[in-house]
Protein backbone atom coordinates (compact mmCIF):
# COMPACT_ATOMS: atom_id res chain seq x y z
CA UNK A 1 0.00 0.00 0.00
CA UNK A 2 1.30 3.45 -0.97
CA UNK A 3 -0.92 6.19 0.49
CA UNK A 4 1.10 8.96 -1.10
CA UNK A 5 0.15 7.66 -4.56
CA UNK A 6 -3.22 6.13 -3.52
CA UNK A 7 -2.15 2.62 -4.59
CA UNK A 8 -3.75 -0.15 -2.52
CA UNK A 9 -3.26 -3.89 -2.30
CA UNK A 10 -6.93 -4.63 -1.56
CA UNK A 11 -10.09 -2.57 -1.28
CA UNK A 12 -10.25 -2.80 2.52
CA UNK A 13 -7.17 -0.55 2.73
CA UNK A 14 -9.27 2.26 1.24
CA UNK A 15 -11.46 2.47 4.36
CA UNK A 16 -11.05 5.78 6.18
CA UNK A 17 -8.23 6.09 8.70
CA UNK A 18 -6.14 8.92 10.18
CA UNK A 19 -3.60 8.32 7.41
CA UNK A 20 -6.31 8.23 4.73
CA UNK A 21 -9.20 10.33 6.07
CA UNK A 22 -12.56 10.80 4.42
CA UNK A 23 -13.10 14.42 3.31
CA UNK A 24 -14.66 17.28 5.22
CA UNK A 25 -16.77 19.53 2.99
CA UNK A 26 -17.60 23.09 4.04
CA UNK A 27 -21.26 23.90 3.41
CA UNK A 28 -21.42 27.26 1.66
CA UNK A 29 -25.09 27.88 0.85
CA UNK A 30 -27.31 26.22 3.46
CA UNK A 31 -25.97 27.96 6.61
CA UNK A 32 -27.33 31.43 7.27
CA UNK A 33 -25.04 34.33 6.44
CA UNK A 34 -22.98 35.25 9.50
CA UNK A 35 -23.48 31.92 11.26
CA UNK A 36 -20.83 29.42 12.29
CA UNK A 37 -19.03 27.03 9.98
CA UNK A 38 -20.69 23.70 9.17
CA UNK A 39 -18.60 20.86 7.73
CA UNK A 40 -19.96 17.57 6.40
CA UNK A 41 -17.75 14.50 6.85
CA UNK A 42 -18.36 12.52 3.68
CA UNK A 43 -18.33 8.94 4.91
CA UNK A 44 -19.76 7.64 1.65
CA UNK A 45 -16.29 8.12 0.20
CA UNK A 46 -15.42 4.84 1.92
CA UNK A 47 -15.14 1.98 -0.62
CA UNK A 48 -18.46 0.28 0.21
CA UNK A 49 -20.31 3.56 0.47
CA UNK A 50 -20.85 4.38 4.13
CA UNK A 51 -19.44 5.07 7.59
CA UNK A 52 -20.23 1.43 8.42
CA UNK A 53 -17.17 0.34 6.44
CA UNK A 54 -15.12 1.37 9.48
CA UNK A 55 -17.39 -0.56 11.84
CA UNK A 56 -17.37 -3.73 9.76
CA UNK A 57 -13.57 -3.70 9.48
CA UNK A 58 -13.13 -3.43 13.24
CA UNK A 59 -15.85 -6.02 13.96
CA UNK A 60 -14.20 -8.62 11.72
CA UNK A 61 -10.72 -7.84 13.05
CA UNK A 62 -12.10 -8.27 16.56
CA UNK A 63 -13.56 -11.68 15.76
CA UNK A 64 -10.22 -12.75 14.27
CA UNK A 65 -8.31 -11.37 17.27
CA UNK A 66 -10.54 -13.32 19.67
CA UNK A 67 -10.35 -16.55 17.64
CA UNK A 68 -14.11 -16.69 17.12
CA UNK A 69 -14.28 -16.77 13.35
CA UNK A 70 -12.58 -19.98 12.20
CA UNK A 71 -14.98 -22.36 10.48
CA UNK A 72 -17.97 -20.10 11.12
CA UNK A 73 -20.42 -18.16 9.03
CA UNK A 74 -21.08 -14.50 9.83
CA UNK A 75 -24.65 -13.52 10.69
CA UNK A 76 -25.57 -9.90 11.46
CA UNK A 77 -28.72 -7.76 11.67
CA UNK A 78 -28.43 -4.50 9.77
CA UNK A 79 -30.38 -1.66 8.23
CA UNK A 80 -28.14 -2.25 5.22
CA UNK A 81 -24.83 -0.41 5.40
CA UNK A 82 -23.04 -2.60 7.96
CA UNK A 83 -24.28 -5.67 6.12
CA UNK A 84 -22.98 -4.39 2.79
CA UNK A 85 -19.55 -3.71 4.29
CA UNK A 86 -19.47 -7.04 6.16
CA UNK A 87 -20.42 -8.94 3.01
CA UNK A 88 -17.72 -7.17 1.00
CA UNK A 89 -15.00 -7.69 3.62
CA UNK A 90 -16.09 -11.30 4.16
CA UNK A 91 -15.57 -11.91 0.45
CA UNK A 92 -11.95 -10.76 0.79
CA UNK A 93 -11.22 -13.34 3.50
CA UNK A 94 -13.43 -16.07 1.99
CA UNK A 95 -16.04 -16.08 4.73
CA UNK A 96 -19.75 -16.76 4.01
CA UNK A 97 -22.16 -14.10 5.24
CA UNK A 98 -25.83 -14.11 6.26
CA UNK A 99 -27.65 -10.82 6.71
CA UNK A 100 -31.00 -10.15 8.37
CA UNK A 101 -32.47 -6.80 7.31
CA UNK A 102 -35.82 -5.06 7.89
CA UNK A 103 -38.14 -5.85 5.00
CA UNK A 104 -38.89 -2.13 4.69
CA UNK A 105 -35.26 -1.27 3.96
CA UNK A 106 -34.55 0.44 0.61
CA UNK A 107 -34.59 -2.08 -2.23
CA UNK A 108 -31.22 -0.72 -3.38
CA UNK A 109 -29.54 -1.96 -0.19
CA UNK A 110 -31.10 -5.41 -0.47
CA UNK A 111 -29.97 -5.62 -4.11
CA UNK A 112 -26.40 -4.64 -3.17
CA UNK A 113 -26.28 -7.33 -0.50
CA UNK A 114 -27.35 -9.93 -3.05
CA UNK A 115 -24.86 -8.54 -5.59
CA UNK A 116 -22.11 -9.19 -3.03
CA UNK A 117 -23.27 -12.78 -2.61
CA UNK A 118 -24.69 -12.51 0.91
CA UNK A 119 -27.55 -14.70 2.05
CA UNK A 120 -30.30 -12.15 2.73
CA UNK A 121 -33.26 -12.52 5.09
CA UNK A 122 -35.67 -9.58 4.69
CA UNK A 123 -37.44 -9.55 8.04
CA UNK A 124 -40.69 -7.92 9.24
CA UNK A 125 -40.03 -5.50 12.09
CA UNK A 126 -42.57 -7.24 14.30
CA UNK A 127 -41.15 -10.74 13.83
CA UNK A 128 -40.52 -11.98 17.41
CA UNK A 129 -39.25 -8.57 18.64
CA UNK A 130 -36.76 -8.85 21.47
CA UNK A 131 -37.72 -5.76 23.44
CA UNK A 132 -39.35 -3.36 20.98
CA UNK A 133 -41.55 -3.60 17.88
CA UNK A 134 -38.83 -2.56 15.41
CA UNK A 135 -36.21 -5.17 16.36
CA UNK A 136 -37.33 -8.14 14.27
CA UNK A 137 -34.09 -8.42 12.26
CA UNK A 138 -32.04 -8.37 15.48
CA UNK A 139 -34.20 -11.11 17.01
CA UNK A 140 -33.88 -13.30 13.91
CA UNK A 141 -30.08 -12.95 13.76
CA UNK A 142 -29.86 -13.86 17.42
CA UNK A 143 -31.71 -17.13 16.81
CA UNK A 144 -28.90 -18.25 14.48
CA UNK A 145 -26.38 -18.07 17.33
CA UNK A 146 -28.65 -19.34 20.12
CA UNK A 147 -30.57 -22.14 18.42
CA UNK A 148 -29.19 -25.58 19.18
CA UNK A 149 -29.37 -26.50 15.49
CA UNK A 150 -27.26 -23.57 14.22
CA UNK A 151 -25.26 -22.01 17.07
CA UNK A 152 -22.06 -23.93 16.32
CA UNK A 153 -22.06 -22.76 12.69
CA UNK A 154 -22.63 -19.01 13.07
CA UNK A 155 -20.96 -16.09 14.79
CA UNK A 156 -22.65 -12.70 15.25
CA UNK A 157 -20.44 -9.61 15.56
CA UNK A 158 -23.40 -7.78 17.17
CA UNK A 159 -22.65 -4.18 16.27
CA UNK A 160 -25.24 -2.95 18.81
CA UNK A 161 -23.34 -4.33 21.79
CA UNK A 162 -19.77 -4.78 20.54
CA UNK A 163 -17.19 -2.28 21.89
CA UNK A 164 -15.18 -2.73 18.68
CA UNK A 165 -17.90 -0.62 17.01
CA UNK A 166 -17.05 2.24 19.39
CA UNK A 167 -13.32 1.59 18.99
CA UNK A 168 -13.58 2.01 15.20
CA UNK A 169 -14.64 5.63 15.65
CA UNK A 170 -12.52 6.37 18.69
CA UNK A 171 -9.41 5.30 16.75
CA UNK A 172 -10.28 6.65 13.29
CA UNK A 173 -13.25 9.00 12.83
CA UNK A 174 -12.61 11.05 15.96
CA UNK A 175 -8.87 11.60 15.35
CA UNK A 176 -9.59 12.47 11.72
CA UNK A 177 -12.07 15.18 12.72
CA UNK A 178 -9.66 16.58 15.30
CA UNK A 179 -6.77 16.78 12.83
CA UNK A 180 -8.86 18.02 9.90
CA UNK A 181 -10.31 20.89 11.95
CA UNK A 182 -6.93 21.55 13.61
CA UNK A 183 -8.63 21.08 16.96
CA UNK A 184 -11.11 23.88 16.26
CA UNK A 185 -14.24 21.69 16.26
CA UNK A 186 -16.82 23.03 18.72
CA UNK A 187 -19.91 20.93 17.86
CA UNK A 188 -20.36 17.38 16.64
CA UNK A 189 -23.64 16.13 15.11
CA UNK A 190 -24.43 12.46 14.48
CA UNK A 191 -27.48 10.20 14.43
CA UNK A 192 -28.66 7.60 16.89
CA UNK A 193 -28.28 4.20 15.20
CA UNK A 194 -26.04 1.48 16.55
CA UNK A 195 -24.40 4.39 18.44
CA UNK A 196 -20.81 3.35 17.72
CA UNK A 197 -20.16 6.58 15.82
CA UNK A 198 -21.57 9.04 18.33
CA UNK A 199 -20.05 7.27 21.33
CA UNK A 200 -16.59 6.71 19.83
CA UNK A 201 -16.20 10.16 18.26
CA UNK A 202 -17.65 11.96 21.29
CA UNK A 203 -15.34 10.10 23.66
CA UNK A 204 -12.28 11.04 21.62
CA UNK A 205 -13.23 14.68 21.06
CA UNK A 206 -14.23 15.31 24.70
CA UNK A 207 -10.92 13.84 25.89
CA UNK A 208 -9.18 16.36 23.65
CA UNK A 209 -11.55 19.26 24.33
CA UNK A 210 -14.12 18.70 27.11
CA UNK A 211 -16.38 21.59 26.04
CA UNK A 212 -17.09 20.14 22.57
CA UNK A 213 -20.88 19.91 22.28
CA UNK A 214 -22.24 16.58 21.06
CA UNK A 215 -25.70 16.65 19.49
CA UNK A 216 -27.56 13.41 18.71
CA UNK A 217 -30.23 13.18 16.04
CA UNK A 218 -33.22 10.91 16.64
CA UNK A 219 -36.00 10.30 14.08
CA UNK A 220 -39.70 10.30 14.90
CA UNK A 221 -41.66 7.11 15.51
CA UNK A 222 -42.58 5.29 12.30
CA UNK A 223 -39.85 7.09 10.34
CA UNK A 224 -38.30 6.13 6.99
CA UNK A 225 -34.74 7.14 7.78
CA UNK A 226 -32.84 3.91 7.28
CA UNK A 227 -29.94 3.55 9.70
CA UNK A 228 -31.38 5.85 12.36
CA UNK A 229 -33.23 4.63 15.46
CA UNK A 230 -36.07 5.99 17.54
CA UNK A 231 -35.56 4.52 21.00
CA UNK A 232 -39.25 4.52 21.80
CA UNK A 233 -39.67 1.75 19.21
CA UNK A 234 -36.19 0.19 19.18
CA UNK A 235 -33.98 -1.03 22.00
CA UNK A 236 -31.22 1.35 23.04
CA UNK A 237 -27.83 -0.19 22.07
CA UNK A 238 -25.66 -1.23 24.98
CA UNK A 239 -22.67 0.66 23.57
CA UNK A 240 -24.36 4.08 23.79
CA UNK A 241 -22.81 6.27 26.47
CA UNK A 242 -25.48 8.92 27.10
CA UNK A 243 -23.14 10.87 29.39
CA UNK A 244 -21.26 11.98 26.26
CA UNK A 245 -24.38 13.43 24.57
CA UNK A 246 -25.20 17.05 25.41
CA UNK A 247 -28.44 17.34 23.46
CA UNK A 248 -30.84 15.19 21.43
CA UNK A 249 -32.81 16.68 18.51
CA UNK A 250 -35.90 14.95 17.11
CA UNK A 251 -36.16 15.25 13.30
CA UNK A 252 -39.16 14.46 11.09
CA UNK A 253 -38.95 12.63 7.77
CA UNK A 254 -40.20 15.77 6.01
CA UNK A 255 -37.39 17.95 7.36
CA UNK A 256 -34.81 15.24 6.67
CA UNK A 257 -35.86 14.63 3.05
CA UNK A 258 -36.33 18.31 2.26
CA UNK A 259 -32.86 19.07 3.57
CA UNK A 260 -31.47 16.15 1.54
CA UNK A 261 -32.99 17.76 -1.56
CA UNK A 262 -31.56 21.14 -0.60
CA UNK A 263 -28.11 19.58 -0.20
CA UNK A 264 -28.37 18.19 -3.73
CA UNK A 265 -29.64 21.39 -5.32
CA UNK A 266 -27.74 24.03 -3.36
CA UNK A 267 -24.50 22.24 -2.43
CA UNK A 268 -24.45 19.62 -5.26
CA UNK A 269 -24.07 17.04 -2.50
CA UNK A 270 -25.78 13.72 -3.26
CA UNK A 271 -26.14 12.58 0.33
CA UNK A 272 -28.59 10.15 1.90
CA UNK A 273 -31.62 11.12 4.01
CA UNK A 274 -29.85 10.56 7.33
CA UNK A 275 -27.39 13.28 6.28
CA UNK A 276 -30.39 15.52 5.63
CA UNK A 277 -31.64 14.86 9.16
CA UNK A 278 -28.24 15.58 10.73
CA UNK A 279 -27.62 18.77 8.72
CA UNK A 280 -31.17 20.00 9.44
CA UNK A 281 -30.48 19.64 13.16
CA UNK A 282 -27.22 21.60 12.82
CA UNK A 283 -28.97 24.38 10.91
CA UNK A 284 -31.58 24.76 13.64
CA UNK A 285 -28.87 25.55 16.19
CA UNK A 286 -28.00 28.74 14.26
CA UNK A 287 -24.59 28.76 15.87
CA UNK A 288 -22.59 32.00 15.99
CA UNK A 289 -19.47 32.93 14.03
CA UNK A 290 -16.36 31.20 15.32
CA UNK A 291 -18.08 27.87 15.91
CA UNK A 292 -17.02 24.86 13.85
CA UNK A 293 -19.66 22.13 13.54
CA UNK A 294 -18.95 18.72 12.03
CA UNK A 295 -21.90 16.74 10.71
CA UNK A 296 -21.52 13.08 9.88
CA UNK A 297 -22.74 12.30 6.36
CA UNK A 298 -23.17 8.53 6.72
CA UNK A 299 -23.90 7.56 3.11
CA UNK A 300 -25.01 8.84 -0.28
CA UNK A 301 -28.30 9.24 -2.14
CA UNK A 302 -27.80 6.29 -4.49
CA UNK A 303 -28.96 3.73 -1.91
CA UNK A 304 -32.23 5.62 -1.44
CA UNK A 305 -33.41 6.46 -4.95
CA UNK A 306 -36.62 4.50 -4.42
CA UNK A 307 -37.33 6.47 -1.22
CA UNK A 308 -36.35 9.86 -2.66
CA UNK A 309 -38.41 9.34 -5.82
CA UNK A 310 -41.70 10.17 -4.11
CA UNK A 311 -40.32 13.49 -2.84
CA UNK A 312 -39.19 14.63 -6.30
CA UNK A 313 -41.84 12.97 -8.46
CA UNK A 314 -43.41 16.29 -9.42
CA UNK A 315 -40.12 18.10 -10.02
CA UNK A 316 -38.27 18.61 -13.29
CA UNK A 317 -41.43 18.73 -15.39
CA UNK A 318 -40.75 20.59 -18.66
CA UNK A 319 -42.24 24.08 -18.62
CA UNK A 320 -42.37 24.50 -22.38
CA UNK A 321 -43.73 22.28 -25.11
CA UNK A 322 -41.79 21.54 -28.28
CA UNK A 323 -43.59 21.73 -31.58
CA UNK A 324 -42.45 20.48 -34.91
Residues involved in catalysis: 52, 274
Rounded to 10°, the helix 273-285/253-266 angle is 90
Q: Where are the beta strands (DSSP E) in 35-172?
A: 37-42, 73-77, 97-102, 119-123, 154-155
H/E stretch holding 140 = helix 136-146
35: three-class secondary structure by DSSP: coil
CA 12 and chain centroid, separation: 17
What is the DSSP-derived secondary structure letter of residue 24? E
What is the DSSP-derived secondary structure letter of residue 185? -
* CA dist., res. 73 & res. 156, Å (int): 9
* CA dist., res. 239 & res. 219, Å (int): 19
Asked whether 99 and 127 are in contact (CB, 8 A), the reply is: no
* CA dist., res. 299 & res. 290, Å (int): 28
144: three-class secondary structure by DSSP: helix
Amino acid sequence: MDLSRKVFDDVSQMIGSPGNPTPLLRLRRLPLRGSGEILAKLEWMNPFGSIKDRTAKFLLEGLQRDGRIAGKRIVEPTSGNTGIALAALSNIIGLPCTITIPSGAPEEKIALLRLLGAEVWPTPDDLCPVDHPKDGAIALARTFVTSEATRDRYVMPNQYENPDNVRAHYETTGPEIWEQTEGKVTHFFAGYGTCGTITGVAKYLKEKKPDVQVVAIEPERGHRLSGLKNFEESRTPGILDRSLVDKTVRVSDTHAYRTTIRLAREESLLAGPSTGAIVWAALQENLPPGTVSVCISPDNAFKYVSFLAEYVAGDGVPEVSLTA
